[in-house]
Amino acid sequence: MKKTVLVTGGAGYIGSHAVRQLLDHDFDVIVVDNLSTGHVKAVDPRAKLYLGDVRDLNFLAGVFKNNTIDGVMHFAGKIIVPESVGDPTAYFDDNIQAVVSVIRCMHAYGVKNFVFSSTAAVYGTAKTTVISEDAPLHPESPYGFSKLAAEHLIAFAERAYGIKHVIFRYFNVAGASLDSKIGEAHPVESHLIPVIINAGLSGKEMQIFGNDYETRDGTCLRDYIHVVDLAEAHVLGMEHLLKEGESATINLGSQNGFTNKEILTTVDKVLKEEHLSEGVKWKFGPRRAGDPAAIVASNERAKKILGWTPKYDLETMIKSAIAWKNTHKNLYNDKNGTKIAFDKED
Ligand code: UDP
């Protein structure tokens, strides 16, 4: 029988890819999103969409009451490190209160399978470059702390209510769907790959933050993963739980690192090959606060527990991100989120 997954934040960047992947794997999908950063147009029309805030217990309980739900994937939340430093209460509210609310409803309606979006930010600056899930946890921002607090709550919920979980700690996610229908559409873009693409397409200059790190070329090194690979891992995570698999905390990364300079060179090369830019304008800027020099995921556990390895390489990631940006100059053309009418056709 078809299983139904509730996806919170299903109108966001990663959530919308997970929704499509679930539907393509024959799940029924219910999306809950308050459109604070998501987009109605990102939601696959095959999904059932509820517009509202997961922290609103009455609203969320209504969704559980009116549907038979087999599992929840929780993506709703805030994700920008510097923003969290400036407004920690917003982060604790969104990223912890939302999980409290979801777990309360899961417990009340007997839903036992929970897949959660966490982050490599829970590790902070690690002692080793390749980070396993057992590495010490030292978040350095309210964002990282809020996700770690939610991870603890989820672990307590297993003991108290028997709700099983797969917690995914993401490294650097990039790329867009291979048919360019959905992609990254943040109100303010701060992530390296889209920032470079925007600079290349617009002719405006971008900055690489810091050139004196202890890495092979002095710029920070990160582990990038294609959003479609990430979405696939979530489906495997949910299937693992539905097959009575044990709870697990799992890194999602490629186990490869690229420096900021290498990313710049690759994006620049692809943009030139595709005749979209004559060369990205850039310069070195000062270090960005809170940036660890190098972080790479160990993905052994993902392989072992889920049989998951990433399929798409850096160039595919960059090409899909460019194709998305180039075909969606105004992104979803909806002034982003809250201002748009609550209408799927809008
Ligand atoms: N970065 C940069 N210029 C930008 C945006 C990001 O040099 O305009 C660098 C950033 O300092 C970090 C790396 O790119 O070293 C990845 O940053 P991003 O914000 O994409 O992801 P994070 O690793 O912070 O999650």
The pTM for the full model equals: 0.94
- Give the three-class secondary structure for 211: coil
Mean pLDDT in residue range 128-148: 93
Distance 195 CA to ligand 1 centre (A): 9
- CA of 220, closest atom in ligand 1: 15
Confidence (pLDDT) at 335: 61
Listed in sequence order, the residues at least 6 apart from 287 whose beta carbon sits closer than 8 Å to its beta carbon are 209, 210, 212, 213
Name beta bridge partners: 173.
225
Any ligand 1 atom below 6 A from CB of 84: no
Whether residue 343 is predicted with pLDDT greater than 90 in this model: the reply is no
Q: Is 209 in the pocket of ligand 1 (CB under 6 A)?
A: yes
Q: Given this model, what pLDDT does residue 85 score?
A: 86
Mean pLDDT (the chain) is 93
Query: Which of 197, 189, 174 minimizes the C-alpha distance to 326?
Result: 197
Total Cβ atoms within 10 A of residue 249:
19
Q: What does the angle CA 88 – CA 92 – CA 97 come to, to the nearest 5 degrees?
A: 160
pLDDT band at 345 (very low <50, low <70, confident <90, very high): very low
- Determine phi and psi for 48, rounding to 5 degrees: -95, 130
What distance in angstroms lies between residue 164's CA and the mean position of ligand 1's atoms? 33
First to last CA, the chain: 34
The answer to whether residue 170 is catalytic is no
Position 339 scores a pLDDT of 33
Pick from 84, 85, 189, 192 the residue to mutate for probing ligand 1's pocket: most ligand atoms within 8 Å of its CB.
Answer: 192
Write out pLDDT tens, residues 255-274.
999 999 999 999 999 999 99
User: How many CB atoms neighbour CB 283 within 10 A?
Assistant: 8
Query: Which residue minimizes the CA distance to atom 16 of ligand 1?
Result: 192
Of all protein residues, whose CA lies closest to atom 10 belonging to ligand 1? 209
Ligand 1 touching residue 295 (CB < 6 A)? no
Q: pLDDT band for position 338 (50/70/90)?
A: very low
CA dihedral (282, 87, 252, 312) positive or negative: negative
CA of 288, closest atom in ligand 1 = 11
156-178 pLDDT, tens digit each: 999 999 999 999 999 999 999 99
Q: What is the Cα–Cα distance from 4 to 238, expressed in whole angstroms?
A: 11
Q: Is 186 in the pocket of ligand 1 (CB under 6 A)?
A: no
Q: Which atom of ligand 1 has the smallest separation from the CA of 195?
A: 8
What does the pLDDT look like over 202-222, one tens digit per residue? 999 999 999 999 999 999 999
Q: pLDDT digits over 227-243, tens only?
A: 999 999 999 999 999 99
- The two tokens of residue 44 are 């696959």
**Helices (DSSP H) in the chain: which residue ranges?**
13-24, 57-65, 81-86, 88-92, 98-108, 142-161, 192-202, 227-242, 260-273, 300-301, 314-327
Please report the pLDDT score of residue 126 as a whole number. Answer: 78
Task: Please tell me whether residue 33 adopts helix, strand or coil conformation.
Answer: strand
Indicate which residue of 143, 213, 224, 312 is catalytic. Answer: 143
* 290 CA closest ligand 1 atom index: 24
What is the best residue among 186, 219, 222 to mutate for testing ligand 1's pocket, by most ligand atoms within 8 Å of CB?
222
One-letter amino acid identity for 140? Answer: E
Gap from CA of 191 to ligand 1 centroid (Å): 6
In this predicted structure, what is the pLDDT of residue 216? 95
Q: Which fold has domain 4-175+225-253?
A: Rossmann fold (3.40.50)
Q: Radius of gyration (Cα) for the chain, nearest Å?
A: 19
**Is the beta carbon of 262 within 6 A of some atom in ligand 1?**
no
The ligand 1 atom nearest the CA atom of 295 = 23
Tens digits of per-residue pLDDT, 176-206? 999 999 999 887 788 999 999 999 999 999 9
Tracing tokens 């969606």 back to the chain, one arrives at 328
Closest CA to 104 of 57, 151, 53, 69: 57
Q: Is the ipTM here above 0.85?
A: yes
Q: Which tens digit of pLDDT belongs to each residue from 24-82?
A: 999 999 999 999 989 999 999 999 999 999 999 999 999 999 999 999 999 999 988 88
Closest CA to 196 of 337, 317, 18: 317
Q: Is 9 helix (H, G, I), strand (E, B) or coil?
A: coil
Residue 192 alpha carbon to ligand 1 centre in Å: 5
Whose Cα sits closest to atom 15 in ligand 1?
Answer: 220
Q: Is pLDDT at 323 greater than 70 in this prediction?
A: yes
